[in-house]
Amino acid sequence: MADSGRLILRGGVVLTMNGRDEVLSPGTVVIEDGRIVSCRADAPPAAAGDTVVDCRDHLLMPGLINTHTHTGFALFRGLGEQRSGAEWAASAYAPPYMDAAVPDDYYWGTLLGGLELLTNGVTCTADRFSHMAVIAEAFDRLGMRAVLCHTLRDITMPLEWDRAMALIDRWGADPESRIHCGIGPHAPDTCSDDLLRRVRRAAQETGARIYIHCSQAPAELAALRTRGHAGGVRCLAATGVLGPDCIAAHCIYIDEEEIRLLAGSGTWVSHCPVSAARIEGRLAPIPALLRAGARVVLGNDWAVTNNGLDLFDEMKCAGVLNKVASGDPAVLPSSALLRMVTIDAARSLGIEQQAGSLEPGKRADVIALDMRSPHLMPWHDIPATLVYSAKGLDVRHVWVDGRWLIRDRRPLDLEVDEVYANVDRIWTRLRGTPAGDRRERDR
């Protein structure tokens, strides 16, 4: 986009996801200095220096927001097949060959997974792991929005605490920054009560939000019982971690009291149904959480057990799996699923002033889907078509901060061949090492 002029996305169907669920058909999105200036039914005349993109036959909508990922694990896609939840827990959630991976490998893994996210229309992700200093550089290079946390666990203290604080020093916690940080305690069973209380204090001091795994496996609950906690959510309540600035991923093994604790505290639940199905064979009680007033958003988790990073897929699976699990085909209507990857996802990450809907003043994170495909037509119900018919592959163009990152499904500023060559190089090396699982958690 020319710095001097406006970017005008003209003539598409504009799904705003604003408070009135406004749809403009046709509509135009006008962007200036990386922000949306207006969404309007008429097309303004182009002035000298403006860039006009013909978006007829395209659906323009806010870029999707992923609330829980480990993007760099795209490197290990397909290496977690046919393991039970107990086997995953016993191997500390480490896929084969992870022992031999070095931080630079995750840089390239993040570029690979990040390209997958972007080409599938995901413009922002909440990501967490170790080695976040190099992973942050990869997200910066991708041009996408990201909230990043360096994982904290008892066994890596105090080293990892210093690294987590260094990450916040480098990138800040300001939601206006395209890349910024949260605080990422790993899980209640791998973090002592003291560490969890320290995380809450640091969140208050820095303004960073708290991202944690919670209640994802029976082994976690067994470990917590030895510390006197009758559940992961209860542990987070007792240590002051719960709150509207806390995003708890999974929450699979929770009871009625913990549902009330999550709802009452305004804590966000990041529901990752595909990963939950493929690791635990069980879902979080999402309909019960929603009935209690809890706030639920969606995430892909990682490509090891997903095995992709596509939020269109995740929406469909969330809808289908929860209808089956609850025996009620009316739960999770399409419009609610769509909010879980747009405006509600933005609220969960604290970036609702910047992203999640197409509204004047917000950053211009916009995706354009090709509407003229046999598996999408006719468009009787936009949310239903997006949730149950559309794929990430339908996304043709992607802008973040008004910068055109993906055009006709190809990245404009990144050489995909360079990424693929490095993935090949990494696997030539890793395949020469033992495949064995490690016994120490590093996720």
CB of 15 to Zn ion, least distance (A): 29
Nearer to Zn ion, 160 or 301 (CB): 301
Nearer to Zn ion, 64 or 247 (CB): 247
CB of 244 to Zn ion, least distance (A): 21
Nearer to Zn ion, 212 or 358 (CB): 212
CB of 189 to Zn ion, least distance (A): 14
Nearer to Zn ion, 12 or 95 (CB): 95
Q: Which residue is nearest to Zn ion (CB)?
A: 301
CB of 249 to Zn ion, least distance (A): 5
CB of 68 to Zn ion, least distance (A): 6
Nearer to Zn ion, 16 or 66 (CB): 66
CB of 139 to Zn ion, least distance (A): 17
CB of 443 to Zn ion, least distance (A): 6
Q: What angle do CA 428, 431, 433 make, to 5 degrees?
A: 120
Nearer to Zn ion, 301 or 394 (CB): 301
Nearer to Zn ion, 187 or 203 (CB): 187
Radius of gyration over alpha carbons of the chain, in Å? Answer: 21
CA atoms in the 13 A half-sphere facing the CB of 191:
31
Nearer to Zn ion, 299 or 402 (CB): 299
Handedness of CA 8, 60, 411, 121 (dihedral sign): positive
Nearer to Zn ion, 341 or 364 (CB): 341
The residue ranges that bind Zn ion (CB under 5 A) are 301
Q: What region does 195 belong to: left with phi over 0, alpha with psi -120 to 50, or beta?
A: alpha
Cα 355 off chain centre by: 13
CB of 360 to Zn ion, least distance (A): 35
Q: What's the rounded Cα separation, in Å, for the pair 37 and 398? A: 18
CB of 73 to Zn ion, least distance (A): 9
Let me know: does 285 contact 257? Beta carbons within 8 Å. no
